[in-house]
Amino acid sequence: METTRSLVIGSGLAGLYFALQAADHGPVLIVTKASPADGSTSVAQGGVAANLGPDDSDESHVADTLRVGVGLCREDIVRLTVANGPRHVRRLIELGVDFARGADGSLDLGREGGHSERRVAHVADLTGQAIQQALLARVSAHPNVRMLANAIAVDLLMSRTPDDERACMGAYILDRATGHIDRVVADHVVLAAGGAGQVYRYTSNPGVSTGDSIAMAYRAGAEIANMEFLQFHPTLLAHPYAKSFLISEALRGEGGELRTANGTAFMKDVHPRGSLAPRDVVARAIDMHLTRSGEESVFLDMTHLDPVEVVERFPGIHRRCLELGIDMREQWIPVVPGAHYVCGGINVDSRGRSSVRNLLAIGENACTGLHGACRLASNSLLEALVFADRAAGILDELTPVKPTTVDPWEPGNAVDSDEAVVIRQNWEEIRGLMWNYVGIVRSDRRLERARRRIELIRAEIREYYWDCLVTPELLELRNIALVAHLIIESARRRTESRGLHYNLDHPGRLPSPRDTIISIDDGPSPG
């Protein structure tokens, strides 16, 4: 059994930025289930949205965020986050992030969908990678931080306070190399393990994004909010060998135009901002066109722009497209929507505290109220910075709850599994039913079909989970099944269309926006 002050699950921007500050006050253990750079931060292309330009203002950034969030943003959280943005961008510069600059030495700010101004600080189209490398270097050099890689959290260690309040005191951690499960006891646990894009068949997310932290928090009794708002990025590269490669929204910010196969710039008739409309609008327009036409993709046209500037601004995307035989200086880029970002997650307050004592959540796995029903582009890295900082600022206020003994992991009568095909089959079935029934466009009938099928799949997984020894693949399957159930249940409870949730049977909006809150006390079974 290991003990630490801060247990951080996840090694992306939120987890690293938190750890760097928390480590000045005590030992920090970061657990990451693959290598430290395998999460979504490393593949983030866009940048950090902040009021940094001469013509910009906090009010403009706030207004853009609220408009895109379609009535569900918490305005106090939006204002708090926007106001702190410039300070954290400057802090990243101090930590070694070399943001792009113009000829005069000022930051070269990009513009993305939904923004009324250029306000996105970036490192070409490799911003996440640059931030990850800078923070990893700092964290690795800190004497109070230890990184445990290739280890996956199984479940949270829970206790009860004298007044019967749920309290978190650590986690069971599976070593992927040995299969051994250890106990880590901590004063507090910080969940920063990212999103859940792998719940869907097509996603921009890396393979590690299986919603583990959201599922663990739900099983521990934490409130989960607004899981129906799963953002589909409009432009994933449509190529059989592209896997999950994203074509950044910044290309449209620099003048890229979305076209159908016959060359029609179709977004001009959909939204006043055309190809730079909010993501929910663009993704839905593409989905509807593909459904009607039977075509496999739409196209992003960059050929009318200066080819030298295009390559200088987007070297990573240009290089990857060339590897697949697409020269975006001369050819249109085939694109399709894909699952990208969870706007809901573990319900937290303005300091990252969940409804479970000593359990904090920051980054994509948290629902702060910033994004509402649809996230404004490049507000995600901003949110991770602001809330990692705010969570680190209250650690001395948290009172640990530690029992005298912690039971070791008990496998019972579980045996090694010789049926890996069961995991693979259930995994593919979940991702398929979520894409077909709980995707960009939904209906009551589709959601009911998804609900019935996911209940059967989860029953199969529960039986398998208790009969067989735990493996990383089984843990991920268990988690994506639960997250799928949470998304379906949240979508069934929202009887309107708002932002990222569009239901054909409820096309209008309710007059009073409300959050969808689910917990084990009234939601699906936690198993």
Task: DSSP letter for 281, please.
Answer: H
Residue type, 147: M
The mean pLDDT value of the chain amounts to 94
pLDDT in tens, 67-121: 999 999 999 999 999 999 999 999 999 999 999 999 999 999 999 888 999 999 9
**pLDDT surpassing 90 at residue 468:** no
From residue 268, alpha-carbon distances to 271, 272, 282, 288, 412 in Å are: 6, 7, 11, 15, 61
**pLDDT surpassing 90 at residue 420:** no
pLDDT (mean) for 328-336: 97
Q: What is the distance between the alpha carbons of residues 43 and 318, in angstroms, rounded to a whole number?
A: 15
pLDDT (mean) for 333-361: 97
Q: What is the distance between the alpha carbons of residues 432 and 320, in angstroms, rounded to a whole number?
A: 27
From residue 277, alpha-carbon distances to 179, 231, 258, 285 in Å are: 47, 14, 11, 10
Regarding whether 332 and 241 lie in a shared domain, the answer is yes
Return the active site residues: 279
Task: DSSP letter for 351, please.
Answer: T
**pLDDT surpassing 90 at residue 409:** no
**CATH number for position 471:** 1.20.58.100
Q: For position 393, what pLDDT does the model report?
A: 97
Helix/strand/coil for 411: coil
Domain that residue 268 falls in: 233-339
For residues 300 and 247, is the Cβ–Cβ distance under 8 A? yes
Regarding whether 431 and 333 lie in a shared domain, the answer is no
Regarding whether 334 and 426 lie in a shared domain, the answer is no
Output the pTM of the full model. 0.93
Q: Is residue 503 part of a domain?
A: yes
Percent of the chain, pLDDT > 70?
99
Which of 309, 339, 369 finishes a domain?
A: 339
E strand or H helix that includes residue 19: helix 13-22
What is the DSSP code string of 177-199?
TT--EEEEEEEEEEE-----GGG
Q: Is residue 508 part of a domain?
A: yes
Q: What is the distance between the alpha carbons of residues 99 and 272, in angstroms, rounded to a whole number?
A: 31
Q: Is residue 64 part of a domain?
A: no
Q: Is residue 66 part of a domain?
A: no
Band the pLDDT of 432: cuts 50, 70, 90. Answer: very high
Q: Is residue 510 part of a domain?
A: yes
Which of 316, 339, 362 finishes a domain?
A: 339
pLDDT in tens, 353-370: 999 999 999 999 999 999
What residues does 145 pair with on adjacent strands?
28
**pLDDT surpassing 90 at residue 172:** yes
pLDDT in tens, 3-27: 999 999 999 999 999 999 999 999 9
Band the pLDDT of 323: cuts 50, 70, 90. Answer: very high
Q: Is residue 357 part of a domain?
A: no
pLDDT (mean) for 220-232: 97
If one counts the domains in the chain, the total is 2
Which of 298, 322, 339 finishes a domain?
A: 339
Higher pLDDT, 30 or 523: 30
**pLDDT surpassing 80 at residue 176:** yes
**CATH number for position 313:** 3.90.700.10
Regarding whether 425 and 335 lie in a shared domain, the answer is no
Q: Is residue 128 part of a domain?
A: no
**pLDDT surpassing 80 at residue 524:** no
Q: What is the distance between the alpha carbons of residues 434 and 482, in angstroms, rounded to a whole number?
A: 12
Q: Is residue 32 part of a domain?
A: no
Q: For position 419, what pLDDT does the model report?
A: 67
